[in-house]
Structure 1
């Protein structure tokens, strides 16, 4: 623990995942201690950021009210600061979107387009609702969305998502990260929350040892490899638990507050 406290002394910015880290995805519960955490970090001069698979539309009001300094969204593909200045964006090429659509139709999967602050689905049905409604509520269907908007990520939507595998022609361009039994994120080969957070570090003139993160799922994997100090929630995916420097309690049991107190970062 002494070594972790020393690492914590170098931290200048902390990135937080949203779902099952800051708040419980399925119940929308966020403990009052999160407001205390952000206020105390601000007093200490430690910056805060959100690092999420959601886009800006999906960053819920109670998280926006925390007034984080940076938003690393769509698994690192779109980054803004608190003033809504765009720090970084990396959309898919239109021909790649069309190639992905052709493949998904061939394997009988519906899909979603993820824009910077909008989502559109190819079809809204029970399968889509089960996966997406807890995060984004009901979405409009618009298969032509990509023709007039940047698409930063796509989602598979099917009741056989675990059987879907990338074809060889796409496996060198994109990768799939499952986040729900009915859905996987489709991201660029080099795309990750870590890439977006690196962009913030560059702007601030900081290094990875100055960064800390809290997370729980596979889309946090690269971030756990990058950060100088990584904390996993108790309910995290086994791979994340293995990568973590420290494992803390659940959202409901004030896990973030407890971890920062143990690491002597706040009182």
Structure 2
């Protein structure tokens, strides 16, 4: 008999396939979990308004965490229950460090998602659906640094993408060495920065305490470096077969790939449905 009472899962390349598609098998697995009274929580590096409606409009699923765990919504109550911000001075510092060679920078804040013209000029390596949504929703600023400085915009997350991967790897390492922010990645070409007080792991801990659960009652599934913190905090942590080397090294076991519905395979290995 499984002890799991909470299943927390990443979205992109874990349950959400390219084209923002969730397979019928994975949808069925989610409904069976809910029918058994198991809490399901979605957690993603995406900003909230870019999350597909499948994940935010199921009233049986009250909690959705976004921006790498820096923000948690109770969608049933339609309110934010947890938020951790980067101070605007840190935002400026990060922009200064990545600005020269970044092919894209966007800043996720309470007031909206702010970008400059690079979003519309540069070819995006991958993640077409997300970036098409971003182009429709983002607020364009001629000078992102100046705008953040003048308006003192605190941020949930800053994401920068790079075509020069050697430079990306170098700036990723340097930002981590500062030990000033929480630095991770949702893709091999990008760098995500959030508050040192935020992470998917900290979001899991908040929900664990809020729901009165024990560690052994929580299962987490993810595919990338930004999922590692929650994999460590869960009683059972699972990596996707298509996951990064780091998360595979961290996980209790490795499931099948996103193409083969690895989300369902992981759940059904642990929880009889």
Q: TM-score, normalised by structure 2?
A: 0.83
Could you tell me whether the CA contact under 8 Å between 1:131 and 1:182 is conserved in 2? Answer: no
CA separation of 1:132 and 1:149: change in aligned 2, threshold 3 A: farther
Are residue 238 (structure 1) and residue 230 (structure 2) matched?
no
Are residue 17 (structure 1) and residue 10 (structure 2) matched?
yes
SS in 2 for 1:191: coil
Structure 2 stretches lacking a partner, 5+ long: none
- The Cα shift of 1:150 comes to 4.2
- The Cα shift of 1:185 comes to 0.4
- The Cα shift of 1:23 comes to 1.3
Are residue 55 (structure 1) and residue 47 (structure 2) matched?
yes
Aligned Cα root-mean-square deviation (Å): 2.6
Distance in 2 between the 1:217 and 1:166 partners? Answer: 16
Distance in 2 between the 1:96 and 1:226 partners? Answer: 27
More off after superposition, 172-181 vs 54-63: 172-181
Structure 1 stretches lacking a partner, 5+ long: 1-5
1:69 aligned to which of 62, 66, 81: 62
Distance in 2 between the 1:112 and 1:132 partners? Answer: 15
1:129 aligned to which of 121, 124, 127: 124
- The Cα shift of 1:69 comes to 2.4
More off after superposition, 47-56 vs 91-100: 91-100
- The Cα shift of 1:21 comes to 0.7
CA separation of 1:257 and 1:101: change in aligned 2, threshold 3 A: closer
- The Cα shift of 1:261 comes to 2.3
Could you tell me whether the CA contact under 8 Å between 1:10 and 1:209 is conserved in 2? Answer: yes
Q: TM-score, normalised by structure 1?
A: 0.85
Are residue 156 (structure 1) and residue 160 (structure 2) matched?
yes
CA separation of 1:152 and 1:21: change in aligned 2, threshold 3 A: same
1:251 corresponds in structure 2 to 258
1:1-267 alignment runs, 5 A limit: 9-24=2-17, 26-67=18-59, 68-83=61-76, 84-105=78-99, 107-109=100-102, 110-116=104-110, 118-123=112-117, 124-127=119-122, 129-130=124-125, 133-137=128-132, 138=135, 139-142=138-141, 143=144, 144=147, 147=151, 150-160=154-164, 161-165=168-172, 171-266=178-273
